[in-house]
Amino acid sequence: MPIYKAPLREYRFLLNELLDFSQYAHLPGFADAPADLVDAILEEAAKLTEEVLLPLNQIGDREGCKLENGVVTTPTGFKEAYKTLVDGGWPALVADTAYGGQGLPNALGVIFNEMVSSANMAFGMYPGLSHGAYSALSQHGTDEQKKKYLPKLVTGEWTGTMNLTEPHCGTDLGLLRTKAVPVGDGSFKISGQKIFISAGEHDLADNILHLVLARIEGAPAGVKGISLFLVPKFLVNEDGSLGNRNGVSCGSLEEKMGIHGNATCVLNYDEAIGWLVGEEHKGLRAMFTMMNEARLGVGLQGLSQSEAAYQNAVTYALERLQGRSLTGPKAADKAADPLIVHPDIRRMLLDIKSFNEGARALLVWTALHGDLSHRSDDEKTREFGEDMMSLLTPVLKGYFTDRGFMNAVDAQQVYGGHGYIEEWGMEQFVRDARIAMIYEGANGVQALDLVGRKLAQNGGRAVFAFFKTIDDFAAQNQGDEKLKPFVEPLIRARKDLEAATLWFMENALQNADHAGAGSTPYMHLFGVTGLALMWAMMAKAAHERLATLNGGDKAYYETKIKTGRYYMEHVVPETATHLARIRHGADPMMSLAANEF
Amino acid sequence: MPIYKAPLREYRFLLNELLDFSQYAHLPGFADAPADLVDAILEEAAKLTEEVLLPLNQIGDREGCKLENGVVTTPTGFKEAYKTLVDGGWPALVADTAYGGQGLPNALGVIFNEMVSSANMAFGMYPGLSHGAYSALSQHGTDEQKKKYLPKLVTGEWTGTMNLTEPHCGTDLGLLRTKAVPVGDGSFKISGQKIFISAGEHDLADNILHLVLARIEGAPAGVKGISLFLVPKFLVNEDGSLGNRNGVSCGSLEEKMGIHGNATCVLNYDEAIGWLVGEEHKGLRAMFTMMNEARLGVGLQGLSQSEAAYQNAVTYALERLQGRSLTGPKAADKAADPLIVHPDIRRMLLDIKSFNEGARALLVWTALHGDLSHRSDDEKTREFGEDMMSLLTPVLKGYFTDRGFMNAVDAQQVYGGHGYIEEWGMEQFVRDARIAMIYEGANGVQALDLVGRKLAQNGGRAVFAFFKTIDDFAAQNQGDEKLKPFVEPLIRARKDLEAATLWFMENALQNADHAGAGSTPYMHLFGVTGLALMWAMMAKAAHERLATLNGGDKAYYETKIKTGRYYMEHVVPETATHLARIRHGADPMMSLAANEF
């Protein structure tokens, strides 16, 4: 069975040494999370994920979910595990204290979610989607709705879903047909079919709150006629008890490539009673609240599968004896050397390791800035936080999941033929990781969001703030010889990213296809530059610690620096290729007529 | 159900226009393959693959093979399809006429195999492995063995397998334990366990010829004590009839990520009777005959899944209406534009299309040179043919399967959520393609073969001959303005490849890990350069045809040129990144101790 150990040392490094969470102790939420409490939370989360969720990951994959007479049964053990999660109060971690939450920063939330998803991605989607529903309701619901529904989402007694996709409409929500007819008492009757609804029906919770996009009768066509509705599986009485079953049912479960432990449902709405969330015809805006949060959550799924696959591949590479080192036997007393002696095995492992640590830093850094955008007492900090959150969300979603998948593939490759066999669990990481590139907006949509919306917002304020962050770091550390191997590649990457950004600004206005053509290379260029910044910052923090240490944890910081150097030397050079692609513009793609493909 | 149409127009372009097969009409085998006969063969092959094999691809994936009481049953329809293959005489296509073969060039063989594998990769492995067994026996067997066994392999009445891997030994065959004890009458008793044996046991043929690596009692340890044995499933009487069942049985079938239609067996040898093939203790050399051939066959599997996935993705992109073009509606009368209007969708499709056509050209070019290495009447041509075959085999295996897999992933991505659902068949291409990166020597092993063996052979003769081919082309066409967009990037790629080659020559001798560290980037750099050469040659051929055409097939050549330009502009720039990685050498990987991972 695959292993997983929560990378607690990494989290501590990020929270205490790189980002120095103690500096925010005066802010709401942070005040309730002193280092020793955070440490205790991390330890408990590690136990939950390693001991409860991990053992169910392969079971979930093999058994999948079952639909019988409209009832969906989750795999063996999922129900008990979900109860453990609820009993531990985990769904409340970052929820508002007004509804029973602990109100802790989301920077801790993403750390918890990474652990859950590393141990069992399919399971993690149940509470993950609930949190998305929580966010949409808490930001767009009426006070009455919040009071009625949020506490149950916060305890985890109820779960939530997002209902966007229909058979003929995925990315293009303007095409959706599910309709809402006003009943007259403020409620609506919702009818239509939704597909690909994760956690859409299951046996883990007493009730499920479906957040459903639909078109009110007579509403304008296109995205401007879409509204968001809350449709509970069971209607909720005034006293909070459960009433009648609503007119929503699971028509079938999708047979998928992976995440078999999660129930991906076709949901049929047949005059189901629903209530408007937010304003009429402005459902898309409300849904984007959920989507943006979900996108960060999907980005971390990419990281999570990369991390889980990595830990197993390292273990295998250390144990499996096969062949001899190119420079002579390293384990002469054994029949062969362990795989880890081979540079090409190390290349794959370091591609993954250097990504994982860099991506985790960027994830927590971004989530922290998301927290500061709400919680800081300084306006500039709030603005910077909002800018980073908005700018980096598509990068984290797209780059993390593209790389996370490829990393799972590389980790599988370390196993040779054994990686292809189900028993070892490596191919499950690949199959599970694959969906993260697709859902919550396929990665091409993320790239377009980045290039088409996020770059231009507020006159480019966010991207220039990002450049300035790099420039400030470079200026502060340019004289430092020890940091040169980090600062120089960072500056080169930044230069390529800036050149690409300017190229879009100069060319995309006259032909929007130029933006589309370079969008995916740009998203990757951005991701690499973001990780390069994190690695430069981590190297600095590690060098500072090393200067004060004698033995002890020294090895940790030395490894950190070596891993970062690998990233700078082996990964960062790709920025030049991305820039070259972007600069060729749209002609290479658009010169072919549709029938020439 | 996924579609597949054999790309006959592409094959005709390659055979008749790019490579001008008619120039070899005086050579053995080629003489029997005039253009009209080849055309008829291609048409028949297209029918077989599109009508018989394609419909069984998803069935094979879903049903898989079954083992009951030692008997393996292949999926519904496989047995009938195999009979159709045999009745059509297809296994005889490139086999020696002395044993009932048609003796046609292998350049046609790889074309046939690409079609079979595109339609049904798991099925194609049954005849594919037989052909490997045929080659090993025909090159290393005694006359008596050849007479006894080859005709039945050529008709396809019997199939063959390769038995290398054991639980503790994959790449490192020196560790193998299966033992062979001389009986005294020239035969041996073979005992041991082999795993991952493709087509190891099945119901398609009357007999299976297992080619098995084993160690004769008392043989030296390591690879120098390995011999190759022929172990038939049923012993064969003097008169050719089948005798007793031999002591080899299928212990279990592996549960795999893909290629479910092929029976991947654990084979248990319990004093099975076998006969030495080739010399004692020189089994590895004989096995490499099979392996090299198999590697080309696996390389084309990468291409085949890329092609099949591409055809489906294009169809979907043309039909699926979703969103609007960034430059304004293109199908204003419809609810949305087809996906094909989006530059990022085209980017993915053109990444695949430009690879497929370039890779197919390099595959046929390489196979042709393999043919010429045996059949040419000119010594220099034979030598060049041998050099290209030897040099490019690891490139085709490694680069084609890495890219082929990624292309299947991209094609799946075009489908959005539907790509993740089993029904559409796109995720099967991904799962099937994945194995090609692993078996017949994992791609890391191919990269090491290229850098560690193939570069140095005969003092670098092959790689310098490859450079000279590029130089000659560039010199002949440098003044041609129309070819400039091809010649210039080709020269840049060649320069990067040469710089990398020289870097290895200068550095790898003092530290072999430098070769290992850069081997995979080098293999990709080589692959891209090889395809760039093919694209330059194809662009030249297309321009020459265009100059003589008025209407008619003009569009075909124009599309060819546009597709090639995409490759030159979007793919070739990556050579610089590969070179940068190679030049960093082994330190980025080797500076970490094993326990630092």
Summarised one tens digit per residue, pLDDT across range A6-61 is 999 999 999 999 999 999 999 999 998 999 999 999 999 999 999 999 999 999 99
DSSP-assigned letter for residue B580: H
pLDDT recorded at residue A288: 81
pLDDT recorded at residue A171: 87
Q: Which amino acid is at B370?
A: G
| DSSP per-residue codes, A62-102 | HH--EEETTEEEPPTTHHHHHHHHHHTTGGGTTS-GGGT--
Mean model confidence pLDDT for chain A: 96
Task: Select from B257, B260, B427, B574 the residue whose CB has the most chain A CBs within 10 Å, as the one to mutate to test that interface.
Answer: B257
Beta bridge partners of A245: A234
**SS3 state at B195:** strand
Q: What is the pLDDT of residues A339-348, one digit of tens each?
A: 999 999 999 9
Chain B interface includes A597 (CB < 8 A): yes
- Report how far residue A38's alpha carbon sits from residue A15's, in angstroms, rounded to the nearest whole number: 9
Chain A interface includes B74 (CB < 8 A): no
Nearest to B94 by CA among B292, B367, B299, B436: B367
* Contact: B570, A576; criterion CB under 8 Å: no
- Report how far residue A227's alpha carbon sits from residue B350's, in angstroms, rounded to the nearest whole number: 38
ipTM computed for the complex:
0.97
pLDDT recorded at residue B170: 87
Task: Select from A439, A584, A597 the residue whose CB has the most chain B CBs within 10 Å, as the one to mutate to test that interface.
Answer: A597
pLDDT recorded at residue A266: 98
> Cα-atom radius of gyration of chain A, to the nearest Å?
24
DSSP-assigned letter for residue A278: S
pLDDT recorded at residue B488: 98
Per-position pLDDT tens, chain B of length 597: 999 999 999 999 999 999 999 999 999 999 989 999 999 999 999 999 999 999 999 999 999 999 999 999 999 999 999 999 999 999 999 999 999 999 999 999 999 999 999 999 999 999 999 999 999 999 999 999 999 999 999 999 999 999 999 999 888 888 999 999 999 999 999 999 999 999 999 999 999 999 999 999 999 999 999 999 999 999 999 999 999 999 999 999 999 999 999 999 999 999 999 999 999 999 988 888 778 788 999 999 999 999 999 999 999 999 999 999 999 999 999 999 999 999 999 999 999 999 999 999 999 999 999 999 999 999 999 999 999 999 999 999 999 999 999 999 999 999 999 999 999 999 999 999 999 999 999 999 999 999 999 999 999 999 999 999 999 999 999 999 999 999 999 999 999 999 999 999 999 989 999 999 999 999 999 999 999 999 999 999 999 999 999 888 999 999 999 999 999 999 999 999 999 999 999 999 999 999 999
Instruction: Label residues B9-27 b or e (16+ Cβ within 10 Å = b).
Output: ebbebbbebbbebeebeeb
Report strand pairing: A207-216 vs A158-163: parallel
* Contact: A344, B519; criterion CB under 8 Å: yes
Euclidean distance between the first and the last CA atom of chain B, given in angstroms as a whole number: 44
- Report how far residue A223's alpha carbon sits from residue B162's, in angstroms, rounded to the nearest whole number: 58
The answer to whether B114 and B307 have CB atoms below 8 angstroms apart is yes
Q: Which of residues 521-580 of B touch A (CB under 8 A)?
A: 555, 558-559, 562-563, 565-566, 569-570, 573-574, 576-577, 580
Nearest to A407 by CA among A118, A128, A120: A118
For residues B571 and A286, the model is more confident at: B571
Element spanning A182, H or E: strand A179-182
The answer to whether A214 and A176 have CB atoms below 8 angstroms apart is yes
List the single residue in B with minimal CA-CA distance to A572: B577
Structure tokens at B182: 């001389």
Beta bridge partners of A236: A242
* Contact: A257, B581; criterion CB under 8 Å: no
* Contact: B559, A437; criterion CB under 8 Å: no
List the single residue in A with minimal CA-CA distance to B443: A413
From chain A, the residues in CB contact with B340 under 8 A are 594, 597
Of the residues B144, B440, B488, B506, only one is catalytic, namely B440
The 10 Å Cβ neighbour count of residue B215 is: 21
Chain A interface includes B245 (CB < 8 A): no
